[in-house]
Structure 1
Amino acid sequence: MNNSLLSRFIPKESKFFPLLKQLSQIVLQAAELLIDSMEHDTSEKRQEYYRKIKEAERKGDQMTQLVFDELGKTFITPFDREDIHDLASSIDDVTDRIHSASKRIAIYNPRTISDSGKKLAMFIQQGATLICKAMDELETCSKKKSKLQEYCQQLHELENCADEVYELFIMQLFNEETDSVELIKTKEIIQELEKTSDAADHVGKLLKNIIVKYA
């Protein structure tokens, strides 16, 4: 944060908070589409949902670029430019991971999505909801940080739950799946879902750093 005497008298731009909020809402939209897509086993439906998620991913990229453009034009930011840049990038990374998982489902077209895969998608949706709530608290975190801290902790707990589901499923997959092609398809999809949960937890870790620096 710029602590110079000048920065104390120049109002800081608050436009980044609604932009980050919009970015988080795109993550939630993509996560909800991912859950809905898993209720369908046909190639046509999977392709349809992939196109919808791809459009959300495109909007996320555009919104992230808008944040970067505004950083280049803004004199005084509410917190360090690097922190805003990294936070926007990490939120967009969650959408990118959702897009990547959906792409694999559409291309590989597995026989079905396992209950573990659906559970991971549920964790991702819950994580996206927490990211949205965290963005609501970000602007006032210097005065009131408890809720933001709670959301960060919940993101981490979700990631731990996702790890447990992933590890158990992989063990069962290699023990029970006899079709090597289906095994490879399923393993790659589940891995991407688990990485998406990791990406959501990374948002929480960046927010924790922001709390330490500014709250």
Structure 2
Amino acid sequence: MMNNSFFSKFGPKEPKFFDYLEQVSEILLAASDMLQGALDSKTGEERMEFFRKIKEKERLGDELSHKIFEELSSSFITPFDREDIHLLADKLDDVIDRVNSCAKRIAIYNPKKNNPYEKSLGEIVKRDAECIYGAMGELASIRKNASKLKQNCKTLHDLENEADDVYETAIINLFEDEKDGIELIKMKEILNELEKTTDAAEHVGKILRTIIVKYA
């Protein structure tokens, strides 16, 4: 109860953390959209260009995360526990890093053909990013929007389960159908990184659940 009254009294005076978190989630959304382009690309030049663009988004995300951490160390009042803000920013940054890692593998490995399961996992990553972006927009009014935030958490969990199913099917088919050992390794690495990206997104949902329990 004490935490809730503290949140109500002081939260609106420190809006910048919510703004920063929403900006980070917007960067994630843009990067996940670019990832679709990388997965659709058929030439090494196109794939490398998407990687460069995503890498720039990743740098912007790092800068914002650093700004959040600096603000946390200098602000007397925060809308909720410093540890929760720090962890949420850190996990958001992890998802962007993973998207960047996916694009890097696509560009460097430059597979001879596009795997349809990679595209399916990439679409799940995009849906994760959309869900996280929506959640960050609701965070400033956490009491009012608790039910929406809970739904966001459930969606992220469901998407991670969906990604697991796609990944397992992809690996089974890959080992059955791909006869080129080098191409098999390339596709397996890309699939694995895409699946890890959905795991990272689901971790954001876990942090949000903790915050909901404390402040909603």
TM-score bracket, shorter-length normalisation: over 0.9
Q: After TM superposition, give the deviation of residue 99 of structure 1 in Å.
A: 0.4
What is the SS of the residue equivalent to 2:88? helix
Q: Deviations over 1:164-205 (max 9, x none)?
A: 000011011111111110011000000000000011111011
Q: Point out the more displaced range, 108-117 or 5-14.
A: 5-14
- The residue aligned with 1:18 is 19
Write the mapping of 1:19-38 to structure 2, written as runs, cut at 5 A. Answer: 19-38=20-39
- The residue aligned with 1:125 is 126
CA RMSD of aligned residues (A): 1.8
Write the mapping of 1:148-167 to structure 2, written as runs, cut at 5 A. Answer: 148-167=149-168
Write the mapping of 1:42-191 to structure 2, written as runs, cut at 5 A. Answer: 42-191=43-192
Q: Deviations over 1:9-67 (max 9, x none)?
A: 76642210000000000000100000012221100101110000000000000010000
Alignment coverage as a number of residue pairs: 214
Q: After TM superposition, give the deviation of residue 7 of structure 1 in Å.
A: 8.8
Where does the alignment leave 5 or more consecutive residues of structure 1 unmatched?
none
Q: Say whether the 8 Å CA contact 1:41–1:112 is kept in structure 2.
A: yes
- Aligned letter for 2:206? K
- The residue aligned with 2:195 is 194
Higher normalized helix content (fraction of residues): 2
Structure 1 residues 146 and 68, CA, compared in 2 at 3 Å: closer, same or farther? same
Q: Deviations over 1:116-159 (max 9, x none)?
A: 10010000001100001001111111233000111110111111
- Aligned letter for 2:157? H
For 1:8 and 1:35, the matched residues in 2 are separated by 40
TM-score (norm: length of structure 2): 0.94
Q: After TM superposition, give the deviation of residue 8 of structure 1 in Å.
A: 8.3
TM-score (norm: length of structure 1): 0.95
Q: Point out the more displaced range, 171-180 or 96-105.
A: 171-180
Q: After TM superposition, give the deviation of residue 6 of structure 1 in Å.
A: 9.1
For 1:6 and 1:102, the matched residues in 2 are separated by 42
Q: Say whether the 8 Å CA contact 1:27–1:94 is kept in structure 2.
A: yes
Q: Say whether the 8 Å CA contact 1:130–1:151 is kept in structure 2.
A: yes
For 1:175 and 1:198, the matched residues in 2 are separated by 26
Structure 1 stretches of at least 4 aligned residues deviating more than 3 Å after TM superposition: 5-12
For 1:202 and 1:7, the matched residues in 2 are separated by 24
Q: Say whether the 8 Å CA contact 2:51–2:107 is kept in structure 1.
A: yes
Q: Say whether the 8 Å CA contact 1:23–1:63 is kept in structure 2.
A: yes
For 1:7 and 1:185, the matched residues in 2 are separated by 48
Q: After TM superposition, give the deviation of residue 76 of structure 1 in Å.
A: 1.1
For 2:25 and 2:188, the matched residues in 1 are separated by 28
What is the SS of the residue equivalent to 2:214? helix
